[in-house]
Amino acid sequence: MENSEINVGHSMPRIGDNAPNFKAKTTKGAIQFSDFAPDKWVVLFSHPADFTPVCTTEMSGFAIRKDEFTALNTELLGLSIDSIHSHLAWVNNVREKTGVYFDFPIIADIDMKVSKLYGMLQPNESETAAVRAVFFIDPKKKIRLIMYYPLNVGRNMDEILRSLEALQISDENGVAMPLDWKKGDKVIVPPPKTLDEMNDRMADNSLEKVDFYLAKKSI
């Protein structure tokens, strides 16, 4: 069968879905996802393979900026289709060579169970390695944002942190984030839904307005 004919054969999780539960072995011991990081956000991310160059830069990026995730009440959870032995050897090797320590759990998904459950195995890209996925999962274990990158392009850590912060500030303030929003920028207030609300919006001089449906405020 040509690669292009391979059917995924299972559903992909979507934004708004409850994060599928699973049990897995990790570099920090066994976990049951439903009990993992109670009351916290989780950034669940996959990489194609241990001991590969792009993955090493990405995992190091997560490790170096772990404190910023902690400050956002967020636990990191990595994954690849590799054994625990491989993970441990890689973590140790990177620490020896660069001083960077991957101090967060990495799932050893050797049977591909979690990869398949989360649509991380995309067979037309690779039949044996997970793509570079990032799932942003809120404290109620709901999937709120998904990124998928191919094998040959590393992710952007600033964008991962920006997305996480945008989700949290949006939730806390009932607002939406415009193009290229970053912390400190004005945010979008929800558009009016009735004529009365529209008229109130038109009369509100506290907002930066293009028109009633596009208005921003500082928070």
Residue 48 interacting with ligand BEZ (CB under 6 A): yes
- DSSP one-letter code for 41: E
Residue 54 interacting with ligand BEZ (CB under 6 A): yes
* Of 74 and 122, CB closest to ligand BEZ: 122
Residue 49 interacting with ligand BEZ (CB under 6 A): yes
Closest CA to 91 of 44, 55, 115: 55
Residue 208, Cβ neighbours under 10 Å: how many? 12
φ, ψ of residue 71 in degrees (nearest 5)? -65, -25
* Of 126 and 168, CB closest to ligand BEZ: 126
Helix 84-98 / helix 53-64 crossing angle, nearest 10 deg: 70
Catalytic option among 55, 94, 130, 177 = 55
In sequence order, what are the residues at sequence separation of 6 or more whose Cβ sits closer than 8 angstroms to the Cβ of residue 10? 116, 117, 119
φ, ψ of residue 168 in degrees (nearest 5)? -65, -45
Nearest distance from C-beta of residue 109 to ligand BEZ, angstroms = 15
Which region among 49-57, 93-101, 169-177, 181-189 touches ligand BEZ (by CB under 6 A)?
A: 49-57
Binding mask 143-162 for ligand BEZ (x = CB under 6 A): --------xx----------
* Of 51 and 213, CB closest to ligand BEZ: 51
Position among 24, 42, 55, 143 found at the interface with ligand BEZ (CB under 6 A): 55
Nearest distance from C-beta of residue 89 to ligand BEZ, angstroms = 16
Question: Is 16 a known active-site residue?
Answer: no
Helix, strand or coil, per DSSP, at residue 38: coil
State how far the Cα of 4 lies from the Cα of 8, in Å rounded to an integer. 11
Residue 52 interacting with ligand BEZ (CB under 6 A): yes
Binding mask 119-138 for ligand BEZ (x = CB under 6 A): ----------x---------
Long-range contacts of 168-176 (CB under 8 A, 24+ apart): 168/41, 168/72, 168/73, 169/219, 171/138, 173/219, 175/217, 175/219
* Of 49 and 207, CB closest to ligand BEZ: 49
Nearest distance from C-beta of residue 155 to ligand BEZ, angstroms = 11
At position 163, the amino acid (one-letter code) is S
Contacts with ligand BEZ, residue ranges (CB under 6 A)? 48-49, 52-55, 129, 151-152
Q: Which residues are catalytic?
A: 55
